[in-house]
Amino acid sequence: MFSDDQTRDLLDWHIAMGIDETISDLPVDSFTQPKPAAVLEQGAPHDLASAPQLNALTERTPATSRPVIVSPAAPPPSSEASVQTATKLAAAANTFDDLQTALLGFDGCALKRTATSMVVADGNPAGRVLFIGEAPGAEEDRQGKPFVGPSGQLLDKMLKSICLDRSQVLISNTVFWRPPGNRTPTTTEVATCLPFVQRMVELMMPEVIVPLGGPAAKSLLEQTAGIGKLRGRWFTYTTVNLSAPIAVTPLFHPAYLLRTPAQKRPTWRDLLMIRQRLDGADGA
Ligand code: URA
């Protein structure tokens, strides 16, 4: 038997590996299960419910153990097809409600299958600033709202320090579903959500876009430099549907600032840059 400490270590290790959801109250001993691969190697047809191999598999499974679950779902669309679908759906959205509905019907991002909630945006779509984080975390996944965990509490303080709050800005992420184990979203996951982010920008037309952290800054600005080189500078963001480019300045991610408080001082300067731009006091 494991001691409490060992059990805790084992759970921590599972979470670090991204195994943070249980799919059953009962454990499954994979060593006593027939190999599903053997069935699939024989070329399982798409209509798995009527596949004789599957029926045979279920019959061989002892009544007391759980049957091996082979998903009858169609294979996921390729990432190229998903980006095309996302682009088409996003382009057809003329309001934020349309965008939300389009996202609800979009199955091209693999993250949707493991997340509990879809997390689109919080704040004011008519606000002056759009903050784009990396991806929803555990608390965001639970509540269906971006930046509501510890990073969100710091973000609220950062907003307050330059006389802003969530009623004056919109907060979203580069992907709309939580990556398992809070890993960084893959480039494919970001690419499949990007058309919706672009459409959000077009619908909102903020005065300033603020990517939070390196991954968000790199994907929005198509830059390869790290956040340390990108913060403290102004860039522009444009799409074919925007009548004028939008000013962009990345900030260190609040989660990084919680771990590295020494970076709060330069971030304060970056926040002041945003305030000055909103006040028209930077001559831009
Ligand atoms: N970190 C992010 O990047 N986004 C969130 O919504 C929460 C934490």
| Distance (Å) from CA 256 to ligand 1 centroid | 11
Report pLDDT digits (tens) over 142-170: 999 999 999 999 999 999 999 999 999 99
Q: What is the pLDDT of residue 74?
A: 58
What does the chain come to in residues?
284
Distances in Å between the Cα of 116 and the Cα atoms of 8, 176, 243 are: 24, 11, 37
147 by DSSP, 3-state: which?
Answer: coil
Most confident of the ranges 21-35, 74-88, 180-194 = 180-194
57-82 tens-digit pLDDT:
223 334 444 544 444 455 667 789 99
Rounded to an integer, the average pLDDT of 183-198 is 97
pLDDT for residue 283: 83
Dihedrals phi, psi of 212, to nearest 5 degrees? -105, 110
Helix, coil or strand: residue 40: helix
Question: Which ligand 1 atom is the nearest neighbour of the CA of 216?
Answer: 3
User: How far apart are the C-alpha atoms of 62 and 162, rounded to whole Å?
Assistant: 64
Q: What is the DSSP letter of 176?
A: S
Place of tokens 């004028």: 244
Q: Phi first, then psi: what are they for 122, rounded to 5°? A: -140, 150
69 is written with which tokens?
A: 């679950």
> What pLDDT is recorded for position 3?
75
Distance 50 CA to ligand 1 centre (A): 43
Indicate whether residue 140 lines ligand 1 (CB < 6 A): yes
For residue 4, the one-letter residue type is: D
Distance 130 CA to ligand 1 centre (A): 14
Distance 164 CA to ligand 1 centre (A): 19
Residue 267 DSSP symbol: H
Share of the chain above pLDDT 90, in %: 71
Lookup: tokens for 46: 């798409």
Task: Please say whether the beta carbons of 161 and 268 come within 8 A.
Answer: yes
DSSP secondary-structure letter at 154? H
Residue 70: the pLDDT is 47
Least confident of 23-37, 46-60, 80-94: 46-60
What is the percentage of the chain residues whose pLDDT exceeds 70?
A: 75
CA 172 to ligand 1 center in whole angstroms: 8
For 52-188, strand residue ranges (E) read 122-123, 129-133, 169-173
Sign, CA dihedral 220-226-227-229, equals: negative
Name the band, by pLDDT with cuts 50, 70 and 90, for residue 19: low
What's the pLDDT tens digit per position in 50-59? Answer: 333 322 222 3
Residue type, 82: S
Residue 133 Cβ inside 6 Å of ligand 1? The answer reads yes
How would you class 182 by CB atoms within 10 Å of its CB: exposed for 0-12, middle for 13-18, buried for 19 or more? middle
C-beta of 172 in contact with ligand 1 (< 6 A): no
- Whether 227 contacts 214, CB under 8 Å: yes
Q: What is the pLDDT of residue 101?
A: 98
Higher pLDDT, 235 or 55: 235
Q: For the chain, how far is it from start to end, CA to CA, in angstroms?
A: 66
Question: For residue 184, what are its two tokens?
Answer: 């960084």
- The per-residue pLDDT for range 96-118, each reduced to its tens digit, is 999 999 999 999 999 999 999 99
The span from the CA of 194 to the CA of 142, in Å, is 23
Residue-range domains of the chain with CATH: 79-283 (3.40.470.10)
In short, whether 173's Cβ falls inside 6 Å of ligand 1 is yes
Fill in the amino acid letter for 176: F
Instruction: With 0.95 as the threshold, say if the pTM is over it.
Output: no
Contact 111, 179 (CB under 8 A): yes
